[in-house]
Amino acid sequence: MTEIVQTGSRRSRRIFHKMRLQARGRSHEGRKFREVCETVVISANGGLLMLRHEVDNGEVLELFNPETQEELECRIVYLGDSGSRGMRVGVEFLTPAPHFWGFDFDAPPLPQADNPGTAN
């Protein structure tokens, strides 16, 4: 399921979207790793991933999107809680990559459907 979230203080809107991609980097122990991970939220400037490897804030990851066949570097800017699916990791692209996720973030968001249970 894809859900668009608008926020005024962000550089671009966020989209809750699950997709698989490949991440390469160095773990908390300094060992190289490669894993297939999943996105939680994406934006034109980065995203929130679920990683199984423990990583450090500020480290660089290489991401490969099999849908767009693009590869790019990003910096870890947020480390969330660990859970059964892994750790939530926020990343920011090092160079602009507006088409990395395969979405047009400049397009106007779709209107939200009215909730029939509320009065207008």
Give the 3-state DSSP-derived string for 76-96, with helices as H, strands as E and coil as C.
EEEEEEEECCEEEEEEEECCC
How many Å separate Cα 65 from the centre of its chain? Answer: 11
Task: Return the pLDDT at 111.
Answer: 63
- For the chain, what is the mean pLDDT? 84
pTM: 0.78
Whether domain 3-93 has CATH 3.40.1010.10: no
Residue 86 contacts by C-beta under 8 Å, 6 or more apart in sequence?
Answer: 37, 50, 51, 52, 53
Q: Which pLDDT belongs to residue 110?
A: 61
Domain boundaries, the chain: 3-93
Give per-residue burial for 58-93: e unless 16+ CB within 10 Å, then b.
Answer: ebebebbbeeeeeebebebeebeeeeeebbbbbbeb
28-59 pLDDT, tens digit per residue, is 899 999 999 999 999 999 999 999 999 999 99
What pLDDT is attached to residue 4?
46
Q: Residue 23 gets which letter from DSSP?
A: E
Label residue 83 by pLDDT band (50, 70, 90).
Answer: confident
pLDDT at 8 over 80: no
Residue 67 has pLDDT above 50, yes or no: yes
CA torsion through residues 6, 9, 12, 17, sign:
negative
The yes-or-no verdict on residue 113 having pLDDT over 80 is: no
Please tell me which residue, 46 or 116, carries the higher pLDDT value. Answer: 46
Q: How far apart are CA 113 and CA 97, in angstroms?
A: 30
